[in-house]
Structure 1
């Protein structure tokens, strides 16, 4: 069967320049198309007997507040299940991951201004050539900034540069975290409404090093947080950055560890269709580039 998993991040009006959200009206239209063509199920239901339609799982990464305020409210009203991932670091440790600091800074400061400041402070001569992984960004400065801050500079260098600018917008990290992320009470309400909660990350770091060490550092603390604070024994995993540049090695080396700890499946960022639960690592299409079917009304 050609089962579909769809990956969502921000679902909100396009008010920030540093992110590419799906407008709520487009989200509703997309959900209407999905329910006409697929049976929307929770991840645990992928193995159940099916009717005439293939299955579809709606997945949400990063645990941002718009997912609760917008997407969850729409889904709850329509009686549709979905899978939301938890990133525990900001809630438990009150620490914002670098990639979200980047989203904020790129939204409130000009790309050229950021690039000029970074270039004056660090040696970034190699960045223009290396930044081709962001070739989809039409603005060259945006492309350079994202590569420099995500990959070229150390996490500490990026954090020092970004935190000062982010604080000029939010005034405190308490304000940032409380307004930017789903909180414990909201996650519990989502669980009680029938949504599936899974592990995303602790601090949203890409896979690296030994698989067991990565599990203990990025996955297990998040799972323990979910068990203690949300009453959830998480069985599904969605790696940050899809695993990153070492995604292939991650899938090979991490699967056995995940299975031994009771995980039943995981969602990648690799596009493609699925066949029930025949594979531990399930493909996903980004919500802005779904495969063509009979109609694609939101494009």
Structure 2
């Protein structure tokens, strides 16, 4: 079986006027890794590639980070290297080709200095009862109002609507060029990660790909591979789909395969029993779902006992 843990922010402290992210401190990260090591064997990207089409005869654990943040390279990587634990850092290529901050991070930063209520007042849309439930389920570590706002911003508004809402506010409080330099890895960091097979794509832009037409999905994945091929001299094998929700992943795995990706990661909270069926819809847990995390879905059971296996890939028709 395979358990994949996914992280984003890792900092010494997360103090903010309005807490907007649920990251890990270095000490908590190291303790969680030590705990996870008791349950299975850490696996690398090359080792996982070799197991495509095969049963998984051991209990494996894969550590992943999304978004290509500089703090991941500067804080998490030394801890992982010291402990001898392999990992994959998934990076959006758009940030580097455009020298811009992703909308998702603009929202995170704004929400750290402004209340959800202030931002919500600027929007003209409301969620349906069904969407409210989806929001609460997807953003299960946020309070209800924040979860609804995040869902509205990330899934309900189109990009032009988001720009007109978020960009004026963002530029009122932040210097985008300064944020870019401080927030994201450098190209040299990407090259260094690739040398040890620790690099993956997080698509080109950080958008919920499955919410768009196939042509837009295909172009986004193509642009990502073109960037990495130009930078590194080869395409990447692994991709994690931005947001990772059911709707954000629909239609995407087939197009990912067409763009030469071999491993694809969702945010379906489940274990992967084997890679004999589909290696482009591998499930992942948020790091806060895992032992010692904020939610810890495994309080009563050990990591691999009474497993909840991935289900989305079995409904393959929805991805075509």
Name the TM tier (shorter chain). Answer: 0.7 to 0.9
Report how far residue 238 of structure 1 moved.
1.1
Does residue 167 in structure 1 map to residue 171 in structure 2?
yes
Q: CA RMSD in A?
A: 2.7
Equivalent residue, structure 1, for 2:282: 282
SS at match of 2:244: helix
Report how far residue 231 of structure 1 moved.
3.9
103, 109, 114: which is aligned to 2:114?
109
Equivalent residue, structure 2, for 1:267: 265
What is the distance in 1 between the residues matched to 2:202 and 2:259?
Answer: 15
Report how far residue 65 of structure 1 moved.
1.8
SS at match of 1:282: coil
1:107-186 correspondence to structure 2 within 5 Å: 107-116=112-121, 118=122, 122-124=123-125, 126-127=126-127, 129=129, 130-135=131-136, 136=140, 139-171=143-175, 173-186=176-189
Once the two structures are superposed, residues 14-33 of structure 1 have per-residue CA deviations (whole angstroms, 9 ceiling, x without a partner) of 23422111222211111111
Using the TM superposition, name which of 231-240 and 83-92 deviates more: 231-240
* Conserved 8 A contact 2:10-2:71: yes
Does residue 65 in structure 1 map to residue 67 in structure 2?
no
Equivalent residue, structure 1, for 2:98: 93
Equivalent residue, structure 2, for 1:236: 238
TM-score normalised per structure 1: 0.83
* Conserved 8 A contact 2:127-2:152: yes
Report how far residue 179 of structure 1 moved.
0.9
What is the distance in 1 between the residues matched to 2:246 and 2:67?
Answer: 15
Equivalent residue, structure 1, for 2:34: 32
SS at match of 1:202: coil
Equivalent residue, structure 1, for 2:47: 45
**Distance change in 2, residues 1:258/1:246 (3 Å):** closer
> Which blocks of at least 5 consecutive residues in structure 1 are unaligned?
none
What is the distance in 2 between the residues matched to 1:42 and 1:83?
Answer: 8
What is the distance in 2 between the residues matched to 1:224 and 1:237?
Answer: 14
User: Relative to total residues, which structure has the larger helix share, 1 or 2?
Assistant: 1
78, 84, 88: which is aligned to 1:79?
84
**Distance change in 2, residues 1:274/1:154 (3 Å):** closer
What is the distance in 1 between the residues matched to 2:73 and 2:193?
Answer: 8
Report how far residue 270 of structure 1 moved.
0.7
Equivalent residue, structure 2, for 1:4: 3
SS at match of 1:159: helix
> Which blocks of at least 5 consecutive residues in structure 2 are unaligned?
291-296, 304-320
Count residues with an aligned counterpart.
283
Once the two structures are superposed, residues 144-202 of structure 1 have per-residue CA deviations (whole angstroms, 9 ceiling, x without a partner) of 4323322333322322332233234332x21111111112111122223x242111111
TM-score normalised per structure 2: 0.78
SS at match of 1:277: coil
**Distance change in 2, residues 1:195/1:168 (3 Å):** farther
Equivalent residue, structure 2, for 1:15: 15
